[in-house]
Amino acid sequence: MPTEPLRIARRCRVVVDNDWAGDPDGLVALAHHLLSPGHRVEAVTSSLLSPAFGPPQGGAATGAALATELVELIGRAERPPVHAGVDVPDDGRDGPNDAADAIVRAARRDDPLTLVLVCGGPLTNVAAALRRDPGIAGRMTLSWVGGTLGAGPEYNRDTDPDAAAQVLATTGLERWQFPVETYRQCAWSVAQLQDALEGCGDLGAWLWRRYVELPLPEGFEVDAVWPLGDSCPIIGTALAAESSTWVEGAGGTTRTCTRVDTALLFGDMLALFRRHTRALS
């Protein structure tokens, strides 16, 4: 007789923002978010795509379509809505942006669970949401995969540096940050990644296909190691932030993670992926 599952307490609710049409590690992280019992995914928003992955035009919509496909594939009863953002870097003006509107709605919604805005890409939608309603800064926590501890380039910040500068200068916004020096700790070999995903049924096959079909220049050779850095925020939203190492910023409103408990993070991810596969078999 199968045992009854333990009831897991929900720690918070989350909006997950990322450039879903870019590096597939964002979609791996989204699957983990959607399957995690420790938080509730309230909405998914799609952000600006770096020109490194081709022309940005249509990238946010393409990312939203991929995120929607993944939500439907996982098939949970609670299926969060998916909203596309804009395809241009932040210019300080407020045009139509469904993703930013969704962030504002989530932040303004009264709920016993606190809101964490998880961003694994550029901060374009976050900047637009804060301009639309500056008061939401005090109603949510931003958990961002981006920036650096020292000098040097960093993909998420540099894709939209003006948006990053605006968001990071916002007063009253509590932040958890996973800089490049930290999220690079979440490295798997390509062989590990393929082996793990191919053992997780239709979900794993769909995720691995995103890697195989990633539009790369002809003849381009990938490294043997592929970081899964976009998964970092789950350690603080659905699992246990105290298992990792953090540095508190001035004023107590910022926390920077310097060491991620990768064993907890990815052990949980694989367990949830495998449980999902067994449930469908």
Tell me if 245 is assigned to some domain.
yes
For residue 154, the enclosing domain spans: 12-185+228-259
Percent of the chain topping pLDDT 70: 99
φ, ψ (nearest 5 deg) of residue 200: -120, 40
Tell me if 208 is assigned to some domain.
no
pLDDT of residue 20: 96
Tell me if 198 is assigned to some domain.
no
Tell me if 128 is assigned to some domain.
yes
Tell me if 202 is assigned to some domain.
no
- The token duo for 117 is 């805005």
pLDDT of residue 3: 63
Would you give the distance in Å from CA 20 to the centre of its chain?
9
φ, ψ (nearest 5 deg) of residue 17: -115, 135
Q: Looking at the predicted structure, is the pLDDT value of residue 52 above 50?
A: yes
What integer is the mean pLDDT of 42-53?
Answer: 90
Look at the alpha carbons of 267, 189, 120, 147 in this order and tell me if their dihedral is positive or negative. positive
What integer is the mean pLDDT of 140-169?
Answer: 96
Tell me if 242 is assigned to some domain.
yes
What integer is the mean pLDDT of 245-261?
Answer: 92
DSSP-assigned beta bridge partners for residue 245: 259
| Domain CATH for 70 | 3.90.245.10
**Contact 52/19 with Cβ under 8 angstroms?**
no
What are the pLDDT digits (tens) for 186-197? 999 999 999 999
What are the pLDDT digits (tens) for 184-237? 999 999 999 999 999 999 999 999 999 999 887 788 899 999 999 999 999 999
Tell me if 78 is assigned to some domain.
yes
Q: Looking at the predicted structure, is the pLDDT value of residue 55 above 80?
A: no
* Burial of residue 132 (number of CB atoms within 10 Å: 0-12, 13-18, 19+): middle
Tell me if 267 is assigned to some domain.
no
| Mean pLDDT, the chain, integer | 94
pLDDT of residue 2: 55
- Total number of domains constituting the chain: 1
3-state helix/strand/coil string of the chain: CCCCCCCCCCCEEEEEEECCCCCCHHHHHHHHHHHCCCEEEEEEEECCCCHHHCCCCCHHHHHHHHHHHHHHHHCCCCCCCEEECCCCCCCCCCCCCHHHHHHHHHHHCCCCCCEEEEECCCCHHHHHHHHHCHHHHHHEEEEEECCCCCCCCCHHHHHCHHHHHHHHCCCCCEEEEECHHHHCCCEEEHHHHHHHHHCCHHHHHHHHHHHHCCCCCCCCCCCCEEECHHHCCHHHHCCCHHHCEEEECHHHCEEEEEECCHHHHHHHHHHHHHHHHHHHC
